[in-house]
Structure 1
Amino acid sequence: MSEKTIFQKIIDREIPAPLVYEDDLVAAFNDINPQAPIHVLIVPKKLIPRVGEAVAEDQATLGALFLAAGKIADKLGVKDRSRGFRLVVNHGHDAGETVPHLHMHLLAGRDLAWPPG
């Protein structure tokens, strides 16, 4: 058995992290190195290393990530289009992936420039 990712350890409550949101498929918590006033990581409980490695059976889990993002944005008061939020998924080293466990970044609370990067 390979070593658990830090996200698996948080999901399994081996590492303490207050959860912003949780359901049967997803857990969400604040990023420890926030890039915006609001920076939440939305993580599937099932280990999917990265989005490009998801398979057809992961469809419900992938959808759950987006549905959770909407619920979290609403809870944090940024769902309204006048405020808004950004969702980011990194795949691979050059894209900024640091943990090999698919996760979505929800960023909000400031003007987010375009293009990113």
Structure 2
Amino acid sequence: MSNQDTIFTRIINRELPADIVYEDDKCIVIKDINPRARIHLLVIPKKPIATLFDLTPEDKDLMGHMMLLLPQLAQSQNLDGFKTQIHTGESGGQEVFHIHIHLLGN
């Protein structure tokens, strides 16, 4: 499966259902279907980038956008603190090869 065909691309294209919390022209935020915290959101860029190893300098604005979105999302979920995770590569625990940031809070 190429990164063009991931579950996240299919969600972005509305081919699969998801509980969408936020969306703009650069990313989509969904509730994780297997939450590891009371609040567990996935911040997913619409541009399909497989891993952090695949980032290029042109992706810095996209990644900055996603990072700046995290505290706004946390506040919208009434969190006063949160944890983020980005898994990279198979040995880093990445299961879907389309970059995404986990936002977790209790």
Question: What corresponds to 1:8 in structure 2?
Answer: 9
1:67, distance to aligned residue in structure 2 (A):
1.6
Structure 1 counterpart SS, 2:5 = coil
1:96 is the counterpart of 2:97:
no
Percent of residue pairs identical: 41
**Stretches of 4+ aligned residues off by more than 6 angstroms:** none
1:69, distance to aligned residue in structure 2 (A):
1.1
Q: TM-score with structure 2 length normalisation?
A: 0.93
CA RMSD of aligned residues (A): 1.4
Q: TM-score with structure 1 length normalisation?
A: 0.85
Matches within 5 A, 1:1-117: 2=2, 4-78=5-79, 80=80, 84-109=81-106
Amino acid at match of 2:9: Q
1:18, distance to aligned residue in structure 2 (A):
2.1
Distance 1:106 1:97 in 2: 15
Higher helix content, 1 or 2: 2
Work out whether residues 26 and 68 of structure 1, in 8 Å CA contact, stay in contact via their aligned partners in 2: no
Gaps of 5+ in 1: 110-117
